[in-house]
Structures are given as structure tokens and as C-alpha cells.
Amino acid sequence: MQKLIVLFLILIYYTTPQSLAQVQCEGIYVTAADYSLGKLSYQSTHNKFCKLRVHELTRTATIKLISKDTAITLLKNNVFGYRDNQKINYRFYNNKSYEMVSNSKSIMLYKTTLLTGNKGAETIDKFFFSITTNSPLYALTIQNLKNEFANNTSFIAALDLYFKTNNELLNYDTFHKQYTLHYVYALTNKLSN
């Protein structure tokens, strides 16, 4: 019985709130290029293909687009991502969906929300980054940024100057209206050129 409880708590921990229901969907981005162009396929019009099952709980390799009379199943590794009805974009990576937090051309930021399994169903946001829209995702840490930008010595030096902890990587610069990380990256690139 204890093993079942532990297994249930582990499932809850690795489950996103989004996986517990169908997602209202505006459309699918088939490729990273489609995302960059804002080109949606299987768009939701007149209640057609208005719901999407992303199967986060079971980490299934498929998604299912559902309308009143039709269901289409697609492989996640053949689809870049989707936009929900609140205009939030998501990217699929390793059969999991990640909310796209920033639309920067330099460093893409993503998050996923996990339920902790504690009383009150508390959630924890985990943040990731990629160098381009279709490159691998890495946990957003100072060390991972240094690893991925190893050839950009001015950016690595700026990371040490501007950020003391990993949490500071998510600081938002209200004056420049962008994440400080993006500002620092752009600044170091301008200085290098």
C-alpha cells in the first residue's frame, strides 16, 4: 500500500496542471520555421479542432486534435508546438510541452509547471532555455549558459558580473522591457562587434 502511495505522489509531482484536462487550442506549429512566421496549422475555426490532448501525464508520444466529428493524432516529434486559446505558445521537447516565456531571437526561455503533491496542490515553475527555436532545451542555470556559450567569452564574463544566483537569470528589466539576460546578451554582442 505504501508503494502505491509513493508511486501516486511521484506521478503527481511530475504532472503539470495542463495535463489534467484538454487544452483549448488555436492551432499547431508544425515546424520551428512555422512558429517563427506565426503560421498555425489545424487552426481552430467554427469549433473545428478546438481541443487538444497533449498527454502530459503519461508522456505519450502523440497529441490528439479533437473536434465534434473528427480526431487527428499526430506524433509530438513531428510537431514543433501549439498556441492555446489564451495566445500562449508551447513547444514540444522530448514528448513534453514547455510554455514559451520569451520570444527573443537570442536565448529562448521556457517554463514548465509541476504539482508538488503537497496540500493545496502547490506548483513549482522550472525554467529552461535554448539557443534557437529548435535547439535542445537545458535547465536555466548560469553554468548551463556558460557551457552553451563557451565561445562567447564576453557573455560569460557578463554572466558573472550581472548574475550571482540562478534565480536572478529571470530578472526583468522594466526600462528596456526585456529580461536582463537578453539585455546582457545583446550588450555583449554589440561590444564584441
**Tens-digit pLDDT profile for residues 57-112:** 556 788 877 777 778 888 888 999 988 888 899 999 998 889 999 878 789 999 99
pLDDT at 189 over 60: yes
Report helix, strand or coil for 55. coil
User: Is there a domain that residue 111 lies in?
Assistant: yes
Backbone angles phi, psi at 57, to 5 degrees: -60, -45
pLDDT mean over 6-32: 58
| pLDDT score, position 49 | 55
Domain enclosing residue 122, as ranges: 2-140
pLDDT band for 164, please (50, 70, 90 cuts).
Answer: very high
| pLDDT score, position 40 | 87
User: Is there a domain that residue 12 lies in?
Assistant: yes
User: Is there a domain that residue 97 lies in?
Assistant: yes
User: Is there a domain that residue 166 lies in?
Assistant: no
Distance (Å, rounded) from C-alpha 27 to C-alpha 39?
Answer: 9
Closest CA to 79 of 66, 65, 68: 65
Cell numbers linked to 173: 528589466
Cell numbers linked to 10: 511521484
pLDDT at 131 over 50: yes
User: Is there a domain that residue 187 lies in?
Assistant: no
Structure pTM?
A: 0.79
Distance (Å, rounded) from C-alpha 62 to C-alpha 28?
Answer: 13
Which residues are CB-contacts of 66 (< 8 A; sequence separation ≥ 6)?
Answer: 22, 49, 50, 51, 52, 53
Around Cβ 155, how many Cβ atoms within 10 Å? 23
User: Is there a domain that residue 14 lies in?
Assistant: yes
User: Is there a domain that residue 25 lies in?
Assistant: yes
User: Is there a domain that residue 16 lies in?
Assistant: yes
- What's the total number of domains in the chain? 1
